[in-house]
Amino acid sequence: MTNAAIIVAAGRGTRAGGDQPKQWQILAGRPVIDWTVAAFQAVADLARIVVVLHPDDLPRYAPANGIEVTPGGATRAQSVRNGLEYLAATSDGTPISNVLIHDVARCCTTPTYISYILSEIQAGDAPAVAPALPVTDALWRGDAGQVIGTQDRAGLFRAQTPQAFVFTDILSAHRQSDGTAADDVEVARASNMPVRIVDGDEDNLKITHPGDFSRAAKLLEQHMDIRVGNGYDVHRFGDGDHVVLCGVKIPHTRGLQGHSDADVGMHALTDALYGALAMGDIGRHFPPSDPQWKGAESHIFFRHAVGLVSENGFSISNLDVTLVCERPKIGPHAAAMQQALSTITGLPIDRISIKATTSERLGFTGREEGIAAQATATLVKT
Ligand SMILES: Nc1ccn([C@@H]2O[C@H](COP(=O)(O)OP(=O)(O)OP(=O)(O)O)[C@@H](O)[C@H]2O)c(=O)n1
Ligand SMILES: C[C@](O)(CO)[C@H](O)COP(=O)(O)O
């Protein structure tokens, strides 16, 4: 069975305020959208994850590995419909069985909770399951600041997402809908689909108003596992006409010597990732004694470390590397290095820092005998 998730993120967040829509605002160190997407990425049984974005926002999003993106519509329901149609149009050969539909604004949801909702739809006894919390407070009707009546709370629930559906059923229900429903349960019920209520989660709040940001930040920080790793590497100069630094080939009067392509910057970054995971170093994973790595391109090592990061449930929050050399000059190549590292990690450019320093002509780097690199990586698990 192939399971998919749609994260709707095409709203404008008018009630939440701020200088940009809520999904792009920084919360506990990273954009709201990244928290939500990371929680879904950590669920092994989801074969596809589609993020539905406002057309204006498409250029600003660098999707992480495996994440797909499609444009949204004018209402939440239209955005969901676009996500469903995208999945239908791109699932030839591997039909989707179940789909989870989630608000990007519910960024405190966890992989455990998403897996629970998935297991409930996979139980196969209902075409739709939706999480909700029974209303526990007394309910009043009010007008002009005055209580004007009371409302029986029996049988009332607060609806949450992710809501889960048999894919073909909810696709057909949305095709018959007028695109104005508040959520997908409303769409399902309009098609006479039975919807089973499953346990909601008080922590699965939706950022709607400005005050919700601090509540969400507290919840995220409470569950966050942050790791920092550092890496250091040196390669000596020898004959050659170029060096490779952080994935970029730079013409130079000499080359760097090493068992691999001697990309000292990428080696330091790779070790920073292994270090943050407490998983040894580059020599342990790729022994210099093994001839298969002779002359290897360093992105192989770096990609391996990046893969271990996600396999262990972490995502990279930022990377920072300092290259120590008199020459070549790094500044003119820093943007290309950021791009090369971004292509491999899926990190936005503004989370990848490339710095350089000379050692004031002191020591082996000052005498231009070699290049040193020092790197730091921060990993986050929610
Ligand atoms: N045209 C729309 C409208 C909403 N959404 C998404 O639907 C979810 C729930 O909507 P809401 O919390 O109301 O978000 P906004 O529409 O962004 O907020 P507001 O109503 O305050 O403008 C959000 O993840 C939002 O991004 C969407 O994908 N497309
Ligand atoms: C789908 C939803 O999250 C269920 O509570 C909610 O209805 C979406 O947000 P909105 O504020 O109603 O647009």
In sequence order, the 6+-apart residues with CB closer than 8 A to the CB of 44 are none
Q: Compute the distance between CA of residue 269 and CA of residue 320 in angstroms, rounded to an integer.
A: 8
Q: What is the pLDDT of residue 76?
A: 98
Distance, CA 10 to ligand 1 centroid (Å)? 6
CB distance 61 to 165 below 8 Å: no
Q: Is the CB of 267 under 6 A from ligand 2?
A: no
Atom of ligand 1 at shortest range from CA of 104: 24
* Mean pLDDT, the chain, integer: 96
Q: Is the CB of 186 under 6 A from ligand 2?
A: no
CB distance 131 to 100 below 8 Å: no
What are the Cα distances from residue 67, in Å, to 46, 47, 93, 194, 321?
11, 10, 19, 30, 27
- Report ipTM for this prediction: 0.95
Statement: residue 54 has pLDDT above 80:
yes
CA-based nearest residue to 99, from 156, 165, 34: 165
Specify whether domain 3-223 bears CATH 3.90.550.10: yes
In sequence order, the 6+-apart residues with CB closer than 8 A to the CB of 37 are 7, 49, 51, 64, 67
What are the Cα distances from residue 193, in Å, to 85, 128, 162?
19, 7, 17
Ligand 1 pocket mutation, candidates 6, 12, 180, criterion most atoms within 8 A of CB:
12
Q: Compute the distance between CA of residue 244 and CA of residue 129 in angstroms, rounded to an integer.
A: 53
CA-based nearest residue to 302, from 258, 360, 335, 260: 260
CATH of domain 225-381: 3.30.1330.50
Residue range 334-356: mean pLDDT, rounded: 95
Q: Average the pLDDT over each of 114-118, 193-197, 313-317 and give the range with the smallest value.
A: 313-317
Listed by start position, the domains of the chain span 3-223, 225-381
In sequence order, the 6+-apart residues with CB closer than 8 A to the CB of 299 are 247, 266, 340, 344
CB distance 230 to 338 below 8 Å: no
In sequence order, the 6+-apart residues with CB closer than 8 A to the CB of 76 are 8, 11, 103, 181, 182, 183
Distance, CA 182 to ligand 2 centroid (Å)? 6
Could you tell me how many residues make up the chain? 382
Q: What is the pLDDT of residue 288?
A: 85
Distance, CA 67 to ligand 2 centroid (Å)? 23
Closest ligand by atom to 9 CA: 1
**Which residues is 69 bridged to in the sheet?**
51
126 — phi, psi (to 5°)? -150, 145
CB distance 315 to 41 below 8 Å: yes
Give 44's pLDDT tier (boundaries 50, 70, 90). confident
Q: Compute the distance between CA of residue 136 and CA of residue 210 in angstroms, rounded to an integer.
A: 24
Give 320's pLDDT tier (boundaries 50, 70, 90). very high
Residue range 47-73: mean pLDDT, rounded: 94
DSSP class of residue 64 equals: P
Name the helix (H) or strand (E) containing 84. Answer: helix 76-89
133 alpha-carbon distance from chain centroid: 27
Q: By CB neighbour count within 10 A (0-12 exposed, 13-18 middle, 19+ buried), where does 259 fall? A: middle
Q: What is the pLDDT of residue 174?
A: 98
DSSP-derived 3-state class of residue 177: coil
Residue range 266-295: mean pLDDT, rounded: 94
Q: What is the pLDDT of residue 176?
A: 97
